A and B are shown apart, each in its own frame.
Chain A
Amino acid sequence: GAVVSQHPSWVICKSGTSVKIECRSLDFQATTMFWYRQFPKQSLMLMATSNEGSKATYEQGVEKDKFLINHASLTLSTLTVTSAHPEDSSFYICSASRQGYAGELFFGEGSRLTVL
């Protein structure tokens, strides 16, 4: 099946620094990728929709200047958490849709961010 890979799988950073998370579709082209955030014992919450070659669409309440999304190619989207704070510590997950798969989404393994 289709594979979506995230990197890094976990990262620890100091408060105030920026962290970049990559999401790659390994064996298909993804014009649309989605970024989710999941806090402990909670469900996934959609943060933004990333479209190749255009600006991302952010969900209500998600700061676009804090969570920078870039989708420069058909196989790569990046999420940069700028000036990270402890409350940004979370599990970040990306997914991609693939043409011909009737709305099925393929998810990455997730990236756990811990901000000290």
Chain B
Amino acid sequence: DAKTTQPTSMDCAEGRAANLPCNHSTISGNEYVYWYRQIHSQGPQYIIHGLKNNETNEMASLIITEDRKSSTLILPHATLRDTAVYYCIVRVGGTGANNLFFGTGTRLTVIP
């Protein structure tokens, strides 16, 4: 699976949009971009994933560049509960893949 690069940490004011970038310049054509987050002392939580089109769900939006070498996770109105480590992962879609490589992620701190 392709590796990703994310900033170590970011701050965001409560109520503002949080934009978390991710570089994945070696992504293959059949690899999806997944985002998970981990709140302190909890298991990771799935947020969103996409292949090449932008995606939106009730939690966030995912913007993938046309060349697919980078993406941005957008939390439209960050709350204090969004403080967590956010992991960008690229991997082949479908079940059965046995190594979800988490990397170091971005520690997002939402500030009151």
Contacts and interface: CB of A to CB of B under 8 A. Distances in A.
A89 interface: no
The winner among B43, B95, B103 for most chain A CB atoms within 10 A is B43
Interface in B63-112: 87, 91-105
B44 A112 contact: no
Given A43-B104, A46-B99, 7 more contacts: A95-B43, A97-B96, A102-B32, A103-B34, A105-B46, A107-B44, A112-B41
B49 A102 contact: yes
A32 B97 CA distance: 10
B45 interface: yes
Interface in A79-116: 91, 93, 95, 97-99, 101-110, 112
Nearest to A105: B100
Interface of A: 4, 6, 32, 34, 43-44, 46, 49, 57, 59, 91, 93, 95, 97-99, 101-110, 112
B100 A34 contact: yes
A105 B102 CA distance: 12
Given A91-B41, A93-B44, A95-B43, A103 B95 contact: yes
Contacts of B49: 102-104
Contact of B95 (A6, A32, A44, A112): A32
Contacts of A109: 42-43
The winner among B34, B95, B96, B97 for most chain A CB atoms within 10 A is B95
B94 to A, nearest CB: 5
A105 B92 CA distance: 13
Given A44-B44, A91-B41, A103 B94 contact: yes
A110 B40 CA distance: 11
A34 B98 contact: yes
A60 B99 CA distance: 12
Nearest to B98: A49
A43 B6 CA distance: 13
Contact of A110 (B34, B43, B46): B43
B97 to A, nearest CB: 6
A109 B97 CA distance: 21
